[in-house]
Homo-oligomer: A and B are copies of this chain.
Amino acid sequence: MSEVVERLKKALPPEALVTDPDRIQSYRYDRAMFCPAGEPVAVVLARETAHVQAAVRIAAEAGVPVVPQGARSGLSGAANAVDGCIVVSLEKMDRILAIEPVDRYVVTQPGVFNAVLSRAVAEQGLFYPPDPSSWEFCSIGGNLSTNSGGLCCVKYGVTTDYVLGLEVVLADGRVLRTGRKTVKGVAGYDLTKLIVGSEGTLGIITEATLALRPEAARPRTMAALFDTGVAAGEAIVEIIRSGVSLSLLEIMDRTTIKAVNDYKRMDLPTEAAAMLIAQSDAGGEAGAADVAMVAKLCRQYGAIECIEADDPAEGELLLEARRAALVALEHLGTTMIDDVCVPRSRLADFIAAVEGIAAEVDITVGVLGHAGDGNMHPTVVFDATDPEQARRAQVAFDRIMEVGLELGGTITGEHGIGVLKRDWLAQEIGPVALDVHRAIKAALDPENLLNPGKVMALGNL
């Protein structure tokens, strides 16, 4: 047995350490396809912050990398193991520590699932907005590390907007506390928001204080069907321009709708090329007026049908369909999920470009996404056993990012860089910003032990 494993055994209780090779296998990958993953020497199932510190200290002494993991639901390979690493899994640190209704925050361990936390605070009349489609099987720690978005961002913003403070184990094993429990605070640099989205490369999050809101009113839901994806895109631009306040504005194309119908045995309409789903949680007359305004604009911009959900259950069903879209597409074949965010005024152009790429490259691309934010997930579906299809899939995947950048967008709106888009980061942010990334990484992790090779290639580090 390796020296490192020997030392971990001495430092940790038996239930906090996995060395069995078969069990270790299940900690190698997140949900990203086509990303390389190495072989860990051990998995630490931390039960408390001290276990994380022990693992990081032992790794630092041995010069061995540490890869932090949440629920492994990520889509960019950020949680994939590297050879010889210690995986530090936070899945067993899954307790909600405090909910404060007046100060409106929750203190939580990172292993809590998003849906579990959301439901726990809802019981006290509170609302934690960030809601990735994977909310039933993604953890808060992973949400923080990738700065997750979700369906309600169009009104409520993303994860980083709700993070008041963090407890973080640094590369040398020390515990950093960032932020505060107050609504506002400007004492020093915003280390909290620097750690959020850094994908475990600057420290390992072991606790978070998250801001909450009062619960929202029951949403009203409507759907609109369009003959073309571009018409849907134009309607979205007009909806945004109108200033109407929606809590959700999603799009699914025919490929996606059909996949969902098959997978969930649903009966969504497939006669149209694209469906918009809109919600307003303004409540009462305001909510009704919002939804009516959206229907009016959709009709003006070519909707062939607008349907208002009769009751909340019907609205929830539409959302379930949207949330299941990615998994449904995965049942059609192998998938490569893009995550391009463009300025909203360019959404119709982007949809047209994606359709053009699919036709030109001759590959299936399901178009779905958070239309109200301009954050789209064109998903390339193909047969991975056919090398020629696999090649074309990669071409389409890359072209979609290219066109996103050309339209003034970003290569990732919410899924992160991981290893999947590492080579694209430099292209988006340029050499000066990359240098600054490397300088900050070197300042906080001089030996490059924390999740090495994720987010950026480390060059001379």
Chain A positions within 8 Å of B, measured between CB atoms, are 100-104, 125, 146-147, 149, 153-154, 157-158, 160-161, 170, 174-178, 180-191, 193-194, 196-198, 202, 214-215, 237, 240-241, 243, 245, 282-286, 341-345, 370, 373-375, 408-417, 421, 425, 428-430, 432-433, 436-437, 439-440, 442-444, 455-456
By the criterion CB–CB under 8 Å, are A187 and B411 in contact? yes
A428 to B185, CA, bound (A): 11
| Least Cβ–Cβ distance between A297 and chain B, in angstroms | 13
Most central of A154, A174, A190 by chain B CB within 10 Å: A190
By the criterion CB–CB under 8 Å, are B158 and A433 in contact? no
B residues in contact with A157, CB < 8 Å: 161
Q: Which residue of B lies closest to A202 (CB)?
A: B189
B residues in contact with A214, CB < 8 Å: 243, 245
By the criterion CB–CB under 8 Å, are B186 and A344 in contact? no
Q: With A243-B215, A345-B103 as known contacts, state yes or no: A197 contacts B190, CB within 8 Å.
A: yes
Q: With A102-B240, A193-B193, A411-B187 as known contacts, state yes or no: A374 contacts B182, CB within 8 Å.
A: yes
B residues in contact with A430, CB < 8 Å: 177
A194 to B341, CA, bound (A): 22
A and B contact pairs by CB, cutoff 8 A, 24 listed: A102-B343, A104-B240, A147-B190, A153-B184, A160-B190, A161-B161, A170-B432, A176-B433, A181-B408, A182-B375, A184-B410, A185-B413, A186-B414, A186-B416, A187-B417, A187-B428, A188-B429, A190-B194, A190-B197, A193-B194, A215-B243, A285-B285, A440-B444, A442-B443
Q: With contacts A161-B161, A182-B375, A188-B428 known, what are 16 further pairs, Cβ within 8 A?
A: A100-B343, A160-B190, A175-B432, A176-B436, A183-B373, A184-B373, A184-B413, A184-B414, A186-B416, A187-B421, A187-B425, A189-B198, A194-B440, A214-B243, A284-B286, A440-B444
By the criterion CB–CB under 8 Å, are A187 and B102 in contact? no
B residues in contact with A410, CB < 8 Å: 180, 182, 184-187
B residues in contact with A177, CB < 8 Å: 429-430, 432-433
By the criterion CB–CB under 8 Å, are A183 and B425 in contact? no
By the criterion CB–CB under 8 Å, are B432 and A186 in contact? no
B residues in contact with A439, CB < 8 Å: 443-444
By the criterion CB–CB under 8 Å, are B101 and A241 in contact? yes
Q: Which residue of B lies closest to A283 (CB)?
A: B286
Q: With A170-B436, A286-B284, A429-B187 as known contacts, state yes or no: A182 contacts B343, CB within 8 Å.
A: yes
By the criterion CB–CB under 8 Å, are B102 and A344 in contact? yes
B residues in contact with A433, CB < 8 Å: 176-178, 188, 191
By the criterion CB–CB under 8 Å, are A189 and B345 in contact? no
Q: With A214-B245, A245-B214, A433-B176 as known contacts, state yes or no: A184 contacts B149, CB within 8 Å.
A: yes
A146 to B188, CA, bound (A): 10
B residues in contact with A440, CB < 8 Å: 189, 194, 440, 443-444
Q: Which residue of B lies closest to A339 (CB)?
A: B186
| Least Cβ–Cβ distance between A260 and chain B, in angstroms | 23
Q: With A194-B194, A443-B440 as known contacts, state yes or no: A409 contacts B182, CB within 8 Å.
A: yes
B residues in contact with A413, CB < 8 Å: 182, 184-186
By the criterion CB–CB under 8 Å, are A455 and B188 in contact? yes
| Least Cβ–Cβ distance between A331 and chain B, in angstroms | 27
Most central of A187, A374, A425 by chain B CB within 10 Å: A187
Q: Which residue of B lies closest to A408 (CB)?
A: B181
By the criterion CB–CB under 8 Å, are B186 and A343 in contact? no
A-B pairs, 7 with minimum CB distance: A214-B243, A443-B443, A193-B193, A185-B410, A102-B345, A439-B443, A184-B413
